[in-house]
Amino acid sequence: MIPSTFEYARATSIDDALTKLAAAGGTGKLIAGGHSLVPMMKLRLNEPTTLIDIARISDLSGIREDGNIIEVGAATVHHDVATSALLRDKCPIVADTAGMIGDPQVRNRGTLGGSLAHADPAADYPATLLAVDAQIQIQGPGGTREVPAADFFQGLFTVDLANNELITAVRFAPVQVAAYAKLYQRASRFAIVGVAAALEISEGSILRKRTIKCARVGLTGAVSHAVRLDGVEKALEGQPATGEAVAKAAQGAGADLDGINDDIHASEAYRRAMIQIFSVRALRGALARIST
C-alpha cells in the first residue's frame, strides 16, 4: 500500500528536531532508519503529517567512552554497533546482539534509538539492554531525563517516551561475562525467543572455585515486551560458575510468565520450551567469556 501524504523535514540538530516535532503538534513523527516506521505507514497503521528526519544529526551517532561508561548515540546504525572495536573489547554482548539483527540492509539503516522507540516485542536490543542494566537518555521540551531499561519497556509497542521526546543515547557500564542467544524467525530474523544473560562472578576461596555473585537475564520475543527472568536470576545467585549449575538454575525459566505469544511463527508451548533452552545457551555463552 501507499502511505498517506506527509511533509518531510530534515533536522540539523537535536534542538531543531524537538522544535520541528513541537511545531507538528502531535501529528509529527521522527524517522531514523525508517525500517519500522515506513512499513507501518504503508499499512496505514501510522499516518504522520510530518516526518522529521534525525538520521544525519551528528550528535546522535557514534559510540564513545565517558569514564567507565559506554555511550551509544541513538541514531547509530546496527552495523556500526556490531563492528565497534570498543564494544567488541569492553561489552561484546551489545556488539553481538546488533550483529544478529536482520540482514546487512537492515543493519546499515536501522538504528538503536528507532528499535527502542518502536519496541517490537521480537526486537533484540531490549533483552540485552536489560541484561547490561542500560540507561536510556531522553530529551524533550522539559529538558533531559534518564530511564533504566527495566522501566522503559512497558507493553506491546509501548515505552516510557512521550510523542514530543527524542531518545538521544543509551549508556551502560561495560560487562564482559555476558552473552545473547536467540531463536531466529527464518525470514525476518526477528527473535522468536531471545535471551541475554550477564553474570557477575566472584573468585571463591576454596580451591579458587568461581561462583555467581549476581545475574541479570533479559528475555525478548516471548511476551508483549522484554522482561527480566527474575526466577532464573535468583536461582543463579551463589551457584558455581559451571555449565551444569546454570542449566539447573534455568530449569523452568519463564514458567511463571503469563501471556506468552502464540502466533504463526511459534505456539505458546514451543516458545515456553525455547525460553529454557535459550536461557541455558545464553548463560553458557556468558560463562565462556570468563577470562582464565
Q: How far is the CB of 219 from ligand FAD (least distance, A)?
A: 14
> Which window, 35-43, 83-91, 203-211, 254-262, contacts ligand FAD (CB under 6 A)?
35-43
One-letter amino acid of 150? A
Instruction: Give the start-end residues of each E strand in the chain.
Output: 7-10, 28-31, 50-53, 63-66, 69-73, 135-140, 143-148, 153-155, 158-159, 166-172, 178-184, 191-203, 210-220, 227-228
- Concatenating the DSSP letter of every residue in 77-90 gives BHHHHHT-HHHHHH
Among 18, 82, 113, 287, binds ligand FAD (CB under 6 A): 113
Q: Does 20 bind ligand FAD (CB under 6 A)?
A: no
53 strand-pairing partners: 10, 31
> Which window, 111-119, 140-148, 206-214, 274-282, contacts ligand FAD (CB under 6 A)?
111-119
One-letter amino acid of 177? V
Strand order in 50-53's β-sheet? Answer: 7-10, 50-53, 28-31
Q: Does 36 bind ligand FAD (CB under 6 A)?
A: yes
Q: Which residues contact 281 (CB under 8 A, 6 or more apart)?
A: 179, 181, 195
Among 11, 18, 24, 31, binds ligand FAD (CB under 6 A): 31
Among 90, 118, 171, 284, binds ligand FAD (CB under 6 A): 118
Q: How far is the CB of 256 from ligand FAD (least distance, A)?
A: 25
Cβ nearer to ligand FAD, comparing 27 with 251: 27
Residues between 120 and 159 with contacts to ligand FAD, criterion CB under 6 A = 120, 123-125
Give the cell for residue 175.
560487562
Q: Does 88 bind ligand FAD (CB under 6 A)?
A: no
Number of residues that bind ligand FAD (CB under 6 A): 30
Q: How far apart are CA 96 and CA 175, in angstroms?
A: 13
Give the cell for residue 214.
549476581
Among 61, 76, 115, 279, binds ligand FAD (CB under 6 A): 115
Residues between 156 and 195 with contacts to ligand FAD, criterion CB under 6 A = 166-167, 188-190
Q: Does 114 bind ligand FAD (CB under 6 A)?
A: yes
Q: Sign of the C-alpha dihedral, residues 87, 13, 42, 165?
A: positive
Q: Does 101 bind ligand FAD (CB under 6 A)?
A: yes
167 strand-pairing partners: 138
Name the site residues for ligand FAD (rule: CB under 6 A).
Answer: 29-37, 54, 74, 101-102, 106, 110-111, 113-115, 117-118, 120, 123-125, 166-167, 188-190
